[in-house]
Structure 1
């Protein structure tokens, strides 16, 4: 099997994990780790002594087929643009760029070069989404959904707000589960940084509403999705991989609640594996640039609502 020759760009918090997956996967060969920060370079060299450690992707551009971008978001556009202009396949962590316009430009470059451009929306890898048919009536007739993602402050991703850092995961999940909303109204607070650290967004679907609550300055870590409808309740604990549901909520007696656990998956491994498979087999990306742009358009709407204190219509 021909292996995809890849460079892993960025060796910070998330980049270290992406480099590890590229090193482990059979479908690719880790040619280089790109990291300009000297302490991180040293750490990368200690962990991967057989791998080239360079400061700039240009140093290995002619040696690779593809690259994984796991740098701070503000660097995504320039790095991805350079790779695409050189005909390289790109896996880019979310959000793919700072602005929708930049993301659309990358889409055009990828199309022109005939290469893959996959976005890292890893929450799609939870296998519970593959079992939604088991809860069809709850999901199809959902009236109220609540998505929560909170964590204590970790001092990372300070170049963006909580919307770009955390909420983008949940906006993508909302798009995947329910489609595009009709409007968005958001509320937020700035606490530790000059950007929003706590945000609550209300996604109006006309017949239903989705509430997304995110904080990166909380007392605990929580990640969950709950769907409420006249046909039952479904709660997915994404942190502990547990599902709870009830389909007899109209009964006067005590509800019968069912629970089951599902196996943890290595999401970064899976999405990278799908990326290399799409290159080798020339199939569509697991998460396309259009998916990434759709999530970014919702980010833009949330930020407009926050900054202008108003509801933003999307249709």
Structure 2
């Protein structure tokens, strides 16, 4: 089986783990494929392709690093829906659910068709001629002036609210444990179909997070006279925004197929990552 590896080489554990993992894959009949830069950096004699070409030629893409690495992998895969498996090389890692100790078992299960995977919804965004998508979230953020911005939101053409503050996070359920959570948004089961709106430091106590249906079109735009702002997609793309020109956000016509560890529950991951101390008794 041909397996692509997308590696965050900046992680301290990357060199040692990736070298051993590549050797194990080869010894078990798999063909690991790396980018030329990673193969050179780790002195590995493997198939080498640019990352955009890797996703077109593999049956499984393994993201080795943190959640940012997996978000990059999801962006490369896009509508192809190549399964993505995340291996955590250190850090919080809600998306990179496999530990380094579980990575080999995960690949073996996948190769035998005994793996578990979840279909995670994606947001498709349009702004003029620009197109992009987000697995976690997209956000309207204040610009260089650091001054309050005003964001108008409409759902299927109906006015929702005008939010004044530092910005607004538009999140998928998968992204509910990321930027939205840090801004006070709710935690949502990641396999649900919904869109979360979480204001950033709003200048009104009544401006609370909202959960909207996934089917429909959401429009966000800077109000007339607002300070400059940007539109950030999963921390991977940034678009400058102009007042009066809306960004259209919809549920994408494809999913990210996320390979997850057998025997782990989402609630168990929450308890571990968020350090919940409650017990059943």
- TM-score, normalised by the number of residues in structure 2: 0.37
- TM-score, normalised by the number of residues in structure 1: 0.34
Higher helix share: 1
Higher strand share: 2
